[in-house]
Structure 1
Amino acid sequence: MNQMIGLVEDDPNIRDIVEGYLNKEGYQVIAVDTAEKAWDIFQEQTPDLWVLDIMLPGMDGYEFCKKIRQTSEVPIIIISAKDEEVDKILGLELGGDDYLTKPFSPRELVARAKRHLKRWQAMKPSEVEEQDTIVAGELELNDAERQAYFQGEEIEVTTKEFEMLKILASQENRAFAREELLIKVWGEDYYGSDRAVDDLIKRLRKKMKDLPIETVWGHGYRLKEKRT
């Protein structure tokens, strides 16, 4: 198993315990005590999953999570002594895929890491997958290469952003409920709220300002077919 996990935890005891359990399962672990060090690692080595503490010196875990989500949908498991519901919701809505409250079972953390890594691996394109192109108006998606083009220009999108575009573009004019989009993109066992869908749509609108994604109030979203 060659999967790499980034661990960001300033408590040396917790860091050593978590690293030991993950190493025992065959994962390569890069453990650091600050988000600044983790950001350097993210830019150079891109781990397959992050285990991230919230209360860190300097840049906190929330800010680090936001920075990752600007360019990547790599799984993030948040670990924190904060057990208030508002803290959990904030962590998930900023891009976390899971949330564990300290003290937690290292075995449970390993089990959740395995699940998220399995899902993340399944989302990556297969090398033998035949090229499939989806065209919806000025949007073109190359499913094999996971590339998105809008108005003739290639747009850098994350894995989840691509999946959202693919779902909407494959059935233009269909109104998808937020709950349906959440399950299709994040999976049935995602712990966050459907506000994650709103955040992802917001990012797509920012990247492609003229993309005709319409809000269906009280329901969800659709990609409106552009008629000539």
Structure 2
Amino acid sequence: MMKVDSATILIVDDENDILQVIKAYLQKNNYIVYEADSGKGALQLFENLQPDLVVIDLMLPDISGEEVCRTIRKTSDIPILMLTAKSSEDDIVNGLLIGADDYITKPFSPRELLARIISLLRRSHLQPNREEEHALAFGGGRLSINSGLHEVRMDGEILSLTPIEFKLLEILARHPKRAFSRYELVNLIQGDDFEGFERTIDVHIKNIRQKIGDDPKRPSFIATVFGIGYKFQVSADE
């Protein structure tokens, strides 16, 4: 199965077992995944996250999946993949008519679901490994850095980074495991916006760590290299 960089996917289903299976499988394939178990929760997350694709069960406990599709379609043309236990032609056609792009009937395999998602992203020109997007994802998709959008997300939340902080984080993340001295980092980000000397790098690193929730004593992302500077570390499976 082809590998992809980070795209944000919202899964909506009131069956927790299905949610967790889908979430784990998609995260394994480098997607950033968020979940909702109700229609209201789905619409709120959709508004806050603006995901690249939505996977939605048509049978929800409050607002129906059909109504969620209609609401999303009023403001967005992102791909929607519907999950349905109803396999009749009329039910499927109705789901497509209200705005879904594709469907998959329960029970289904995670592998088939992934294939449908990749196909939808390709068709919508939202395939997340496009060169111009320059997207990076780490920590099982928890941290994503998108140079094209100049955007950093942590657990789906867009972070407010200064231009220097963004550039510094991007430099480290694009060269994982490489130790950069403070002097190197100063030279790489030097410009009209940069003020200070080598030790100023420490302040920027401290701010970045606070914003991404990285504990300097037990860092998940930015590690201090004693006597040198800093490096971006990744887990063994990344």
**2-structure distance, mates of 1:8, 1:46:** 14
**1-structure distance, mates of 2:119, 2:104:** 14
Counterpart of 1:37? 41
Is 1:71 the counterpart of 2:72 in the alignment?
no
Which blocks of at least 5 consecutive residues in structure 1 are unaligned? 129-228
The alignment's TM-score, normalised by the length of structure 1, stands at 0.53
Aligned match for 2:21, one of 14, 17, 20: 17
Percent same amino acid at aligned positions? Answer: 42
Q: Which amino acid aligns with 1:50?
A: V
Sort the Cα spacing of 1:36 and 1:24 in 2 relative to 1 into closer, same or farther, 3 A.
same
User: What secondary structure is seen at the aligned counterpart in 2 of 1:73?
Assistant: coil
**1-structure distance, mates of 2:113, 2:59:** 18
Counterpart of 1:95? 99
Largest Rg, 1 or 2? 2
**What is the number of equivalent residue pairs in this alignment?**
127
Is 1:27 the counterpart of 2:31 in the alignment?
yes
- Residue by residue over 1:53-101, the C-alpha shift from the partner in whole angstroms, topping out at 9 and shown as x without a partner, is 0110100100000001111110000001111111000000000010111
Report the Cα offset of residue 119 of structure 1. Answer: 2.2
How do 1:1-228 and structure 2 match up within 5 A? 1-121=5-125
Structure 1 range deviating more: 61-70 or 113-122? 113-122
Report the Cα offset of residue 42 of structure 1. Answer: 1.2
Report the Cα offset of residue 45 of structure 1. Answer: 1.1
Segments ≥4 residues shifted beyond 3 Å: none
**1-structure distance, mates of 2:82, 2:54:** 8
**1-structure distance, mates of 2:35, 2:48:** 15
User: What secondary structure is seen at the aligned counterpart in 1 of 2:124?
Assistant: helix
- Residue by residue over 1:134-156, the C-alpha shift from the partner in whole angstroms, topping out at 9 and shown as x without a partner, is xxxxxxxxxxxxxxxxxxxxxxx
Which blocks of at least 5 consecutive residues in structure 2 are unaligned? 133-238
**1-structure distance, mates of 2:54, 2:79:** 6
The alignment's TM-score, normalised by the length of structure 2, stands at 0.51
**2-structure distance, mates of 1:44, 1:13:** 25
Report the Cα offset of residue 122 of structure 1. Answer: 5.4
Cα RMSD between the aligned structures? 2.1
